């Protein structure tokens, strides 16, 4: 059985490695100080279980679980008991270990992992829906004129009160409409709502840092609830 360890504290990673070393046939493949590096690893390698800290800078353990497309089994390791109820809402989370972790308690978690690996995982109900074939353009009504905008020209759409602003690589179109209405007409293959006020063309992202994305010269916020879906869409190396 192969595992990785994800914890921003070096001492905590060492302790979990020591606990793992006393379990026959449990191999620690790698350990990571942040969730992003662990995600990149899991995009290329498969493991059976991840020992995952909840509290990490910028990207929590729960965010990490929500982001993974095909997650392995997860054992949470934390000094905070407040997430226990939320944690068990996720089928892939098989145990919740509160630090300091004893060897006896750790071994019980391993038993749970082995049992859960024997059960088939039910299909996720949160997979991204298939986009309808909407062509490659839409028309917006501005001053009684219908203006054609190609999807690949749209950078992002921002809600501003009763209006939305459609930002393209050439200009900004201000339209009396709702963000939800225009979102329903955009192909999900390249558009994603990342904040209550923003829908972006994620193929136009230049950079992602902390809780914002950079598109051209615009810095756009990412809400915590939308961040996992954005990370799931990205082709991480």
Domain ranges of the chain: 2-117, 137-233
Distance CA 114, CA 116 (A): 5
If one counts every other C-beta atom within 10 angstroms of the C-beta of residue 131, the result is 12
130-161: pLDDT as tens digits? 223 345 788 887 776 778 888 999 999 999 98
Q: Which residue has the higher pLDDT, 142 or 183?
A: 183
Residue whose C-alpha is closest to residue 236's, from 52, 36, 59 = 36
Query: How far, in whole angstroms, is CA 182 from its chain's centroid?
Result: 24
Taken as a whole, the chain contains a residue count of: 237
Least confident of 65-74, 80-89, 94-103, 223-232: 80-89
Top CATH class, 2-117: alpha beta
Instruction: Indicate the Cα dihedral angle 197, 201, 203, 207, nearest 10°.
Output: -30
Q: What is the pLDDT of residue 119?
A: 61
Distance CA 203, CA 21 (A): 43
What is the average per-residue pLDDT within 75-92?
Answer: 76
pTM, entire model = 0.56
Tokens 């999900």 correspond to 188
Contact between 2 and 48 under an 8 Å Cβ cutoff? The reply is yes
The mean pLDDT value of the chain amounts to: 84
Across the chain, where does the E strand assignment appear?
A: 2-6, 27-32, 49-53, 73-78, 93-98, 137-142, 145-150, 154-160, 163-168, 172-175, 191-195, 198-201, 205-209, 212-215, 218-221
Superfamily of domain 137-233: LytTr DNA-binding domain (2.40.50.1020)
32-70: pLDDT as tens digits? 998 889 988 998 899 999 999 988 877 778 888 888 878
């Amino acid at each position: 059985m192969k595992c990785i360890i994800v914890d921003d504290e070096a001492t905590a990673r060492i302790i979990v490695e020591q606990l793992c070393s006393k379990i026959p046939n449990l191999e620690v493949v790698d350990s990571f100080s942040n969730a992003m590096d662990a995600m990149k690893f899991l995009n290329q390698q498969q493991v059976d279980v991840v020992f995952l800290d909840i509290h990490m800078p910028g990207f929590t353990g729960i965010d990490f679980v929500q982001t993974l497309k095909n997650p392995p089994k997860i054992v949470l390791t934390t000094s905070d008991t407040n997430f226990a109820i939320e944690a068990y809402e996720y089928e892939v989370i098989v145990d919740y270990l509160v630090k300091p972790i004893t060897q006896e308690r750790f071994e019980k978690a391993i038993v749970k992992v082995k049992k859960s690996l024997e059960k088939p995982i039910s299909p996720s109900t949160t997979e991204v829906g298939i986009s309808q074939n909407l062509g490659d353009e839409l028309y917006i009504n501005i001053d009684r004129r219908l203006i054609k905008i190609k999807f690949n020209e749209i950078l992002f759409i921002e809600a501003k009160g009763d209006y939305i602003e459609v930002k393209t690589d050439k200009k900004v179109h201000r339209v009396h409409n709702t963000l939800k209405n225009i979102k329903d007409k955009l192909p999900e293959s390249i558009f994603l709502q990342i904040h209550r006020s923003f829908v972006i063309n994620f193929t136009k992202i230049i950079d992602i840092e902390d809780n914002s994305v950079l598109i051209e010269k615009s810095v756009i916020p990412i809400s915590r609830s939308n961040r996992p879906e954005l990370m799931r869409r990205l082709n991480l190396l």
